[in-house]
Structure 1
Amino acid sequence: MRVRADILRTYQGVHTWTGIIAGLVLFIGFYAGSLTMFKHELAQWANPVSAPVTKPHTNNHQTLVDQAIAKYPEQMGNGFSLDLLTNQAPLSWYSQGKERGMKLDNQLQVLYLNQQNDLVIQQQNENKLADLIDYLHRTAGFAGEIGHDQSGVYILGIASALYFLALVSGVIILLPTLVKTFFAIRKEKGASRFWLDSHNLVGIASLPFHLIIAFTVVVFAFHDLVYDGLSAFYDDKSFFQRPAPAAHNYHIANLPSINKQLLAAKNYAPGYEPIHITFNRLNTNSPTATLKMSNSSAVVRGPDTDYLFLHPYTLEVLNSSYPQGGDGVWGNIVGSFFSLHFGTYGGEWGRWGYFVMGLLGAFLFYSGNLLWLDKRFKQDANKRSTRFMANLTIGVCLGSMIAVVATLLQAKWTNQYMGNANYSYLYSYYLVFFAFVAYTFFKGTHHASYWGLMGIALLSAGMGVSTLIQALLADDFLKYYQSGIVDISAAVFALIFYYCAKKVRNKSVSYAVIPAKL
């Protein structure tokens, strides 16, 4: 396909500058996003293993709830959660903090029945390691809030809009040679050509995935502003009508049984299994019950499950994330975009696919920056702005990765000895990240590249070693050693990054080309 030279130059400029401006922020979002596909496994890996306090899939939930209501009517009336799958304490409520948000000092009261069927209550801190990974994914680590959301969410929204422009312009640039060079990886023509071919191949092959991610991130970031803007055309009517409060307050003593709640949910969504219930405001005139509904063979529209909202007393369905038939076309479209972003379809294969595509997305931004820097160094190797951008690229990209791995490793040990290790996660990430960025500016990109990659390799290897040491010190080795997927993956990445570090040291890969000129 022929495209005029002036048009190609225009889109080349659009592609270059949108990619450079947004690339570093999106690298962190994609790298952390790939880890969110296994955030629960990572959190479980980092937590000390304890003996279950009740049998898994226990059938005595109603007895537990009844005893808790009788002994703690006020706390239970404010709201509580019931986990139907856990082999730990199934019932809990927040004695400090709340479920939403990145609150590091949240405290839970957890309740269970012992072997004598007596009610036992314990206080514990809510572990936020999985939430920290998700926080980095949604905000790229930018602190602060704007309105009711983190500032980083809006920054990533702007970056994703630029990212969409970079994708479209990149496709237009490649149109004249797309058929001829799509699968061409010309390593024999030098490192720069190899990286350019790899960059183009990854970008085109995963284009639908990237378009969906770019669009949905913009929607997630700015949906409130869109709703507020559209409300002026609808006489300021709310787009989401809440059910009218009842004329009287309900009381938890009259709460229908858990089995009735579950039956109402299953009747509404056949084939789905309720796995978690959260009750709120049970002693008011507007109570709610939120159920997480699981179906491994269905496309769900939340990060892990679909959601069903019930009136806990009348058992009326208030809302849901399920397809709404012909009357809910727009809701179905929005729900589908949510599921496409979260990757909650395709089972384990889908989850691993999103994990790999997230990492390849991070590679896309990293390689794009390196290609731009390589071209700039050929024009003027001593230009201060180019040297600054080279240091920033290596510092931010490798710094964010080494900071995450270091935080996972320290979480493995601090959870053994600290009641609330949440603050240590946050301090660990930002301390390591900014220290490595400063180290890169002080020592230069080639030196920092080698030691950054080597550091990631060593820390990744240390994850498996830590599990092995703690398992050997435990009473039951096989029972303790239950997070093999994390340790095996860490070992694989340790080998990959060690190989990359050796290549950088020998200056035989492209990102040694740039530092070698400094």
Structure 2
Amino acid sequence: MIKLSKDNTKRQLAIHGWTGLVLGFLLYIVVFTGAVVVFENELEQWSASHLQTSEVIDSSVTDLVNHLAKNTAQELWQDIDIHKHHGELEVFFHEHRLNKKGQKQPYGVQYSINLNTINNPKTTLRKQIIQNRQIGFPANFEDPSGTEWVQFMRFMHTNLYIPGRLGFYATGIIGLLLLVSAVSGFLLHRHLIKDMFLSPRKPKNKTGKTINYRDGHNLAATWTLPYAFVLAFTGAFLSFALTLGLPTIAYTAFKGDINTAMEKVSGKPSVALASEVSHSNQLLNLDNIIIESQKRIDSYPNQINIRGYGSEQSVVITRHFAGYIDKDFMTNELMFDGNTGEFIQELSIVGQKPTISSDTLQLMFSLHFGNFSGWLSKLLWFGLGLLLCYVVITGFKLWFERRIKQASWRRLYFSVPIISYGVPISFLSAGLGFFFCYTSAINISMETSIWLGFGLGWLLSLASLIFVYQMNTNNSLDNTSIKVETQSTLSMTHIKNNTQSIDIRLNKSMQYINQYFRFVLAFFLLLLPIIRWQSSHIGWLTLAKNYTPSIIVIDLFFIIAGLIFYHRFLTKK
């Protein structure tokens, strides 16, 4: 039990309420999208109906890399990134060049290789199918695998789709906001342990309704308090570390060269320029390196980075992502000699060798993204994320319920269901925009189509204001505030009746709005699995035969959630 004086309690309540009110809408978007993109890989697979494929590199790729290098400009040999992406092996030969904004960015050639040709012993290098070949900056590459909808939600979470560093500043500030709300909420809890097992009391009147919201808010907030602390602190740190910390180091110590600063901070070795290498000294031990890394980490690498291909200083870095390794919840990186295949050392995010600080930083990444224990941690983070969304929404409701007698706040009260339902509806509608562009032959960019779908979702959400307008026109819902001064001219009975009349009309309007949103949300939830199946013609039987349970699980989630909201629409609960 935390004892605060009456003045301190009022002060903390004001801090808690106003911080949530001012940026609560953006906080809701960031938390909601963060909960969704926990299953980023699974949703990418679902959106394009990709059959189950391994995302680790366990194939023989040495001959392939050597063959591609011979057909690639030598100046692009400086860095080679290799990884799997939904059934295709992507190999990116690149150097760093200045883009139109004057920033150094990777520039090169990316090959997408059909993995079936690699694993087929009868296929020669010349017959291997290059699915796609793109030249330029990766930001301008097209993604034929159908992951744009999920990337849209990820960008909303990381930077609210605001370009440049401003987006990361915004999400960093929102992370600090969540931290302030969590601390003030913690101080306001008078019975922290008791609130963990508090059952929300059923409302019997208007006062009971507010108590019900408060009980639900306290119950959910208590269980999500540790999660909120972790999410807020790690999110704010990661946002500001990328936008303030690293650029500051780069400008003060490396004349603004962020890539060089990153190499020094991370301890990654610099290599000879591509112009100094020769074709005669090729990488010959990549397959042996893959096998050796598997022995050391007990997992095949998810990514491979080759630095200085063809030079005497060539090194190979294998990355083994967190969540793929049962005994470890942090990403591992190993460095090998690119010519002899000998193991050199284990790398860390910061510094050349693992330290407490580097392990702490890796732990922050894993805790923020919830990928430290496979499906189990993802489900936990997803559930806690949705519960935290409920805390935000009930906080809105409590704020407006306590000020419902004021006409200005009463008008804004209708924003609560618009925000709470509008956010998921708009992202689901963005998914429809994705499927429309992904499956149609209409000449429209994927980004435009997704934004049009996103806008349609908000248009449908704002259409709920028609109910408010109709009730205002017919019943004069927007009466003036019920003030104490009216007692001098009106009888107390008249004031009481007028207040009750406003409450009845307000509740009726909110009931209509909630019913409307439940129907729209149920419609989108039930429609998306149908469109996914119709666009790919891959049903559950085919998915089961190809051991792709994640798509089936996501289909079932949409269907069950849609049926729940449709049931609530029919029962008006």
TM-score using structure 1 length: 0.79
- C-alpha displacement of 1:137: 1.6
Tell me the CA shift for residue 185 of structure 1: 2.0
Contact 1:82 1:277 in 2 (8 A): yes
Partner amino acid for 1:432?
L
Letter paired with 2:439: Q
Q: Deviations over 1:110-157 (max 9, x none)?
A: 234375322322327314333222112212x343323xxxx2321121
* Other-structure match for 1:514: none
Pairing of 1:262-273 with structure 2 (within 5 A): 262-263=290-291, 265-266=293-294, 269-273=296-300
The structure with the larger Rg is: 2
**Which of 282, 288, 298 is equivalent to 1:260?**
288
- TM superposition shift of 1:413: 4.8
Of 310, 313, 325, which residue of structure 2 is paired with 1:296?
325
Counterpart in 2 of 1:276? 303
Contact 1:456 1:494 in 2 (8 A): yes
Moved more, 309-318 or 36-45: 309-318
Measure, in 2, the Cα distance between the counterparts of 1:473 and 1:222: 43
> Partner residue of 2:30?
29
Task: Provide the rounded CA distance (Å) in 2 between the counterparts of 1:452 and 1:399.
Answer: 8
Using the alignment, how far apart are the partners of 2:271 and 2:230 within structure 1? 38
Q: Deviations over 1:418-459 (max 9, x none)?
A: 598632453235322442454345554735443233212111
SS in 2 for 1:273: coil
Query: How far 1:469 moved relative to its partner?
Result: 3.9
Match of 1:215 in 2: 233
8 Å CA contact 1:291–1:309 kept in 2: the answer is yes
**Per-residue CA shift, 1:237-279, capped at 9, x if unaligned?**
9671664544883346522322233255446x43232133244
Higher RCO by CA contacts (8 Å cutoff, separation 6 or greater): 1
Tell me the C-alpha RMSD between the 2 structures. 4.3
Quote the residue 2:491 is aligned against. Answer: none
Report if aligned partners of 1:67, 1:119 keep a CA contact under 8 Å in 2. no
Does residue 1:401 correspond to 2:469, yes or no?
Answer: no
Aligned partner of 1:339 among 363, 366, 391:
366
| Structure 2 runs not aligned, ≥5 long | 134-141, 469-508
- What is the distance in 1 between the residues matched to 2:361 and 2:39? 24
Q: Does 1:495 align with 2:563?
A: yes
Give the distance between the partners of 2:221 and 2:384, measured in 1 at CA: 10
Question: Structure 2 vs 1, CA of residues 420 and 78 (structure 1 numbering), >3 Å: closer, same or farther?
Answer: farther
Q: Per the alignment, do residues 497 and 298 of structure 1 end up closer, same or farther by CA in structure 2, a change over 3 Å counting?
A: farther
Paired residues of 2:430 and 2:457 also in contact (CA < 8 A): no
Pairing 1:369-518 to 2, within 5 Å after superposition: 369-377=396-404, 379-380=405-406, 382-383=407-408, 385-388=409-412, 390-417=413-440, 422-424=446-448, 426-436=450-460, 438-441=462-465, 443-444=467-468, 446=510, 447-470=512-535, 477-478=542-543, 482=548, 483-502=551-570, 506=572
AA matched with 1:277: I
State whether residues 107 and 123 of structure 1, in contact with CA within 8 Å, keep that contact through their aligned partners in structure 2.
no
CA contact (8 A) 2:61 2:287 kept: no
Aligned counterpart, 1:119 = 128
Which residue identity does 1:350 align to in structure 2? S
Structure 2 residue 163 is matched with structure 1 residue 144 = yes
Query: How far has the Cα of 1:468 moved from its partner?
Result: 4.3
The residue that corresponds to 1:77 in the other structure is: 77
1:185 aligns with 2:199: yes
- What is the rounded CA distance, in whole Å, between the counterparts of 1:95 and 1:191 in structure 2? 61
1:286-321 CA deviation, whole Å, 9 max, x = no partner? 8665533144313434xxx54456664576758734
**Letter in structure 1 aligned against 2:177:** L
Contact map agreement 1:160 1:217 (CA 8 A) in 2: yes
- For the residue of structure 2 that corresponds to 1:37, the secondary structure is helix
Task: Tell me how far apart the structure 2 counterparts of residues 246 and 194 of structure 1 sit (CA, whole Å).
Answer: 67
Equivalent residue number for residue 513 of structure 1? none
Pick closer, same or farther for the CA change 1:244–1:37 going to 2, 3 Å: closer
Q: Does the CA-based 8 Å contact 2:210-2:401 persist in structure 1? A: yes
Contact 1:91/1:111 (8 A) holds in 2: yes
- Tell me how far apart the structure 2 counterparts of residues 374 and 74 of structure 1 sit (CA, whole Å): 67
Given that residues 437 and 446 in structure 2 are in contact (C-alpha distance below 8 angstroms), is that contact kept between their aligned partners in structure 1? no
What number of residue pairs does the alignment pair up? 485
Could you say what secondary structure the match of 2:202 adopts? helix
State the shift of 1:13 in Å. Answer: 0.8
Paired residues of 1:457 and 1:494 also in contact (CA < 8 A): yes
For each residue in 1:20-74, what CA deviation from the matched residue of structure 2 results, as whole angstroms up to 9, or x when unmatched?
123211111111111112122211122155899x9x9774423323332344464
Relative to 1, partners in 2 of residues 1:499 and 1:13: Cα closer, same or farther, differing over 3 Å?
A: farther
Tell me how far apart the structure 2 counterparts of residues 230 and 51 of structure 1 sit (CA, whole Å).
Answer: 42
Aligned-residue offset at 1:212: 0.7
Asked if the contact 1:160/1:215 (under 8 Å) is kept, the reply is: yes
SS at match of 1:187: coil
Alpha-carbon spacing, 1:414–1:10, altered in 2? closer, same or farther (3 Å): same
Which deviates further from its counterpart, 4-13 or 417-426?
Answer: 417-426
Residue 297 of structure 2: SS of its match in structure 1? coil
In structure 1, the gaps of 5 or more residues are: 509-518
Structure 1 residues 88 and 453, CA gap change in structure 2 (3 angstroms) = same
Q: Is residue 196 of structure 1 aligned with residue 214 of structure 2?
A: yes
Distance, in Å, in 1 between the alignment partners of 2:216 and 2:383 is: 15
8 Å CA contact retained: 2:425, 2:457: yes
Conserved in 1, the CA contact under 8 Å of 2:282 and 2:309? no
**Whole-angstrom distance in 2 between the partners of 1:343 and 1:407:** 25
User: What is the CA-CA distance between 1:180 and the residue it aligns to?
Assistant: 4.4
Rounded Cα–Cα distance in structure 2 between residues aligned with 1:137 and 1:74:
38
Query: Matched residues in 1 for 2:370 and 2:288: separation?
Result: 32
In the superposition, relative to structure 1, how do residues 217 and 3 fare at CA in structure 2: closer, same or farther (>3 Å)? same
Instruction: State the identity %.
Output: 17
Which moved further from structure 2: 258-267 or 156-165?
258-267
The amino acid that maps onto 1:188 is K
C-alpha displacement at 1:206, in angstroms?
1.9
Question: 1:187 and 1:97 mapped to 2: Cα distance?
Answer: 61
Q: Secondary structure at the match of 1:188?
A: coil
Q: Could you say what secondary structure the match of 1:376 adopts?
A: coil
